[in-house]
Amino acid sequence: MRIHLAILRSAAWLVPGEQRTEWFAEWNAELWYVRRSDERQTTSFCLGAFRDAIWLRRNSSPTAQPWLRLQSPAQCLGLLGMVAAACVLFALRYHPPDFPLLPIGQSLLAMLLMPLMALPGLLATTSLRLGEYPANRYGWRWVFLASKIALLLPIVFFRRAGLVADRRRRDRDLHGGFVRNRVSLGADRSAPALSGVSPATRVPHEDRAAFPHVPQLVRDGVRVCGGAWSPTCVGDSDDVVSHAALAAPGPIVERVVFVNRKCGKEALLGAMAAKPGLQHCCEWMDSLLQPAGRAPLRGVIEARAFSARRKPVPSPVFGGGPHLAPRGSVTAENYLTIS
Amino acid sequence: MPAEPKLSHTAAMILQSIHAGDGYGFSVMEMTGLPSGTVYPAMRRLERDGLILWQWERQAIADAGQRPPRKYYKLTRPGRATLEASQRRYPLLAKLAPVEVEQP
């Protein structure tokens, strides 16, 4: 019954607003009787509501749909122009600085695909038939058609650009945290314990101003996404304290790297292990993250963020062009991205 | 005298079933065997052309039967004239009768 009502409600969206309530009441009443028959027949009955709704939409009087009447080429081109302008402005305003806005250098297939994607939109933008074009002048209809294609191209392209840019923003998640403050740690060095370090125990470092979002990063953790990840850069291994120093009891003042347990430690360690010369980092971090049985630690935590980005899936059309390749480095900008 | 509108066979069947049957959409479907996606838009066309009109069942009657009120259609005067013309054009149309449903 629910699915049948859902079908009717979906179809109701096609019905002009002022007729929708009555239309739904009629179909709902009929459904009450039809549902006594078998499920298949009931579903078939409900699917017929779409044809009825489309008929009403197409045959409503002009006053029934005053909000959008594209009955002239000027109105159609005006609407397309507004949408195109909005898409261009949106793309210019929100695109990443390193994202190529124009499709220069992309494959020929991509260039051909865009007008192909635009063509289906032509049908939806006007109800004019080909013979109803301005002044019945044959040439104008092709001018109108070309104008529509010309306006649809930026709509399609700049929306695609926006979608790619959104995807790139999503790919900028971090795996690790960076902090350069003096802290006191107890035996529990699990991620919640690290996150709960009181700000009062911190001694701001002179570089702290470069990373204003680090405390928040430590408290709240870093977002982690699943899937295939690859490190694009790693921290400076010279900043890492030795395993022996960490194992020694009593306070130490050293530089310490930590990785938030919630941040996909396994994924990060696995990625680092593949890098020559970083295996000891893995071993050290693993020991640091032991939840119990460790002596209290006092030191300066300096963790370089281990930025990792999802491997881009090459598009069969646009290819893994330079705008999709993984890149970046551990900079303050990375932190600003996720704050 | 204006010419009588000529209906398609499907529209004539629907008009006949509204005239001979109970006058609601599902009964038209049962009598004609046509799917809902055909019957309801056709009834909208007939209504637009002034051949049928509709009326909601009174709420009290529906409440007494513990069911939602139905929308009943009936022929207008031009609709009856068109039906008569259609019956002359499609002689078998008059044989369209309500389906007998066995009561349990």
CATH number at residue B63: 1.10.10.10
Share of chain A above pLDDT 70, in %: 29
pLDDT band at A95 (very low <50, low <70, confident <90, very high): low
Cα angle A111, A171, A264; round to 5: 150
Higher model confidence: residue A202 or residue A42? A42
Count of structural domains, chain B: 1
- Residue A288 confidence (pLDDT) above 60: no
Residue A30 C-alpha, separation from nearest chain B C-alpha, in angstroms: 6
> SS3 sequence, chain A?
CHHHHHHHHHHHCCCCHHHHHHHHHHHHHHHHHHCCCCHHHHHHHHHHHHHHHHHHHHCCCHHHCCCCCCCCHHHHHHHHHHHHHHHHHHHHHHCCCCCCCCCCCCCHHHHHHHHHHHHHHHHHHCCCCHHHCHHHCHHHHHHHHHHHHHHHHHHHHHHHHHHHHHHHHHCCCECCCCCEEEEEECCCCCHHHHHCCCHHHCCCCCCHHHCCCHHHHHHHCCCCCCCCEEECCCCCHHHCCCHHHHHCCCCCCCEECCCCHHHCHHHHHHHHHCCCCCHHHHHHHHHHCCCCCCCCEEEEEECCCCEEEECCCCCCCCCCCCCCCCCCCCCHHHHHHHC
CB A55 within 8 A of CB A62: no
Q: Does A44 touch chain B (CB under 8 A)?
A: yes
Residues of A with CB below 8 A from B37's CB?
Answer: 47-52
A101 contacts: CB under 8 Å, gap ≥ 6:
A91, A92, A95, A161
Q: How many CB atoms lie within 10 A of CB A238?
A: 6
Take residue A164 and report the two structure tokens written for it. Answer: 């790619």
- Residue B69 confidence (pLDDT) above 60: yes
Share of chain B above pLDDT 90, in %: 17
- Rg of chain A over Cα atoms, rounded to whole angstroms, equals 30
- Residue B45 confidence (pLDDT) above 70: yes
- Residue B46 confidence (pLDDT) above 80: yes
**B96 belongs to a structural domain:** no
What confidence score (pLDDT) does residue A162 get? 58
Of A49-58, A260-269, A275-284, B3-12, give the range with the top mean pLDDT: A49-58
pLDDT band at B52 (very low <50, low <70, confident <90, very high): very high
Nearest residue of chain A to residue B72 (CA atoms): A26
Lowest mean pLDDT among A108-112, A270-274, B93-97: A270-274
Nearest residue of chain A to residue B37 (CA atoms): A48
Higher model confidence: residue B52 or residue A227? B52
A165 contacts: CB under 8 Å, gap ≥ 6:
A91, A94, A95, A96, A99
- Residue B40 confidence (pLDDT) above 90: yes
Higher model confidence: residue A72 or residue A244? A72
Which of A33, A42, A56 to mutate to probe the B interface, most B CBs <10 Å? A33
Dist. CA A140–CA A163, nearest whole Å = 35
Average pLDDT over chain A, rounded to an integer: 54
**B26 belongs to a structural domain:** yes
Averaged pLDDT, A203-224 = 34
B44 contacts: CB under 8 Å, gap ≥ 6:
A52, A55, A56, A59
Which residue in the set A29, A33, A51 is minimally distant from B41, CB to CB?
Answer: A51
- Write the pLDDT tens digit of every residue in A138-156: 667 777 777 887 887 777 7
Q: How many CB atoms lie within 10 A of CB A307?
A: 25
What confidence score (pLDDT) does residue B77 get? 92
Higher model confidence: residue A266 or residue A223? A266
**B98 belongs to a structural domain:** no
Q: Do B44 and A56 touch (CB under 8 A)?
A: yes
Take residue B49 and report the two structure tokens written for it. Answer: 């052309």
- Residue B23 confidence (pLDDT) above 80: yes
Dist. CA A14–CA A52, nearest whole Å = 9
Higher model confidence: residue A151 or residue A8? A8
What confidence score (pLDDT) does residue A327 get? 28
Q: How many CB atoms lie within 10 A of CB A197?
A: 19
- Residue A321 confidence (pLDDT) above 60: no
Of A31-40, A66-75, A113-122, A305-314, give the range with the top mean pLDDT: A31-40
- Residue A195 confidence (pLDDT) above 50: no
Lowest mean pLDDT among A113-122, A187-196, A205-214: A205-214
Dist. CA A4–CA A13, nearest whole Å = 15
Q: Do A30 and B25 touch (CB under 8 A)?
A: yes
pLDDT band at B39 (very low <50, low <70, confident <90, very high): very high
**B103 belongs to a structural domain:** no
**B2 belongs to a structural domain:** no
Higher model confidence: residue A163 or residue A239? A163
Q: Does A30 touch chain B (CB under 8 A)?
A: yes
Which residue range is the domain that position B29 belongs to? 9-91
A219: region left, alpha or beta (phi > 0 left; psi from -120 to 50 alpha): alpha
| Domain range summary for chain A, segments of one domain joined by + | 2-64, 79-170, 180-338
pLDDT band at B62 (very low <50, low <70, confident <90, very high): confident
Q: Does A52 touch chain B (CB under 8 A)?
A: yes
pLDDT band at A60 (very low <50, low <70, confident <90, very high): confident
What confidence score (pLDDT) does residue A154 get? 76
Higher model confidence: residue B70 or residue A90? B70
Tally C-beta pairs within 8 A across A and B: 56
What confidence score (pLDDT) does residue A259 get? 38
- Write the pLDDT tens digit of every residue in A214-257: 333 333 333 323 322 222 233 322 233 334 444 444 433 333 33
What confidence score (pLDDT) does residue B41 get? 92
- Residue B36 confidence (pLDDT) above 70: yes
Dist. CA A150–CA A83, nearest whole Å = 12
Average pLDDT over chain B, rounded to an integer: 83
- Residue A265 confidence (pLDDT) above 50: no
Which residue in the set A33, A48, A55 is minimally distant from B35, CB to CB?
Answer: A48
Take residue A337 and report the two structure tokens written for it. Answer: 């991205």
pLDDT band at B9 (very low <50, low <70, confident <90, very high): confident
Residue B38 C-alpha, separation from nearest chain A C-alpha, in angstroms: 7
Averaged pLDDT, B65-90 = 88
Take residue A192 and report the two structure tokens written for it. Answer: 């919640």
Residue B53: DSSP 8-state? E
A248 contacts: CB under 8 Å, gap ≥ 6:
A295
CB A299 within 8 A of CB A241: yes
